[in-house]
Amino acid sequence: MANSGKFKTLFQAGNIGGLTVNNRLIMSPMGTNTADKDGFVTEQMKRYYQERARGGVGLVIVEGACVDPIGKATPYELEICDDRFIPGLKGLADVIHQHGAKAALQLNHNGRLAPISVTGQQAIGPSAVRVKDWSFNPMGEGIAPREMSIADIAHAIKQFARAAVRAKRAGFDGVEIHGAHGYLISQFLSGTTNRRRDVYGGTLENRSRLLTEIL
């Protein structure tokens, strides 16, 4: 990319913590649903991200990878819930690195937005609050989720941590924790979907506890 005009800093190297990127351009994570039906990286996905890296961005953040099978929202969503996904993810990180870009991976758990038609299990969430409007997610059935126990919450935290380790082993330079769009972390943060009366509900500090413990 040309380093000209009034946006010269945009094309200079920058740091994110200890990570140095070639420029200040970052590709945001956007779901492509190009994993295979078992959540593995496909050649189509690799080609897609390789072309984006070839375009010259400093950092490519790969679309959300599901950290737990019970949190998968779509049939072709990328997964990172087991070591068997590491080789495919390594191949994906490698093709991004080939063009000088850094590679990060978004980690996600869809919580109550994970439909039983995909996971085969009742969805889980901070509270048993049914989703009223599934228009944004045609895979959803609107069944009330099962309220997570303290053990469920501890397991989810460990799944995010294990996923981060797998991303590092696969060669990614960083991870992004998905805390928006009504998914699990967002569900805990919101007083609408989190009606718990324990240390994970009530006050903003308590509703933020899942996120801070994941971090």
pLDDT tens, residue by residue, 106-136: 999 999 999 999 999 999 999 999 887 554 4
Which of 48, 49, 76, 183 is the catalytic position?
A: 183
* 1 assigned to some structural domain: no
* 182 assigned to some structural domain: yes
C-alpha 141/C-alpha 118 separation (Å) is 11
Tell me which residue range forms the domain holding 124: 8-214
Over the stretch 51-95, which tens digit does the pLDDT of each residue have?
A: 999 999 999 999 999 999 999 999 999 999 999 999 999 999 999
* Beta carbons within 8 Å of 82's beta carbon, 6+ residues apart: none
* 61 assigned to some structural domain: yes
pTM confidence score: 0.92
* 3 assigned to some structural domain: no
Tokens 């996905």 locate to 45
The H helix count followed by the E strand count for the chain is 7, 9
Domains of the chain: total: 1
Q: Are 72 and 79 in contact (CB under 8 A)?
A: yes
Task: Give pLDDT, residue 56.
Answer: 94
* 48 assigned to some structural domain: yes
* 2 assigned to some structural domain: no
CATH number at residue 90: 3.20.20.70
* 34 assigned to some structural domain: yes
Q: Is 183 a catalytic residue?
A: yes
Q: Are 196 and 120 in contact (CB under 8 A)?
A: no
pLDDT confidence band for 3 (50 / 70 / 90): low
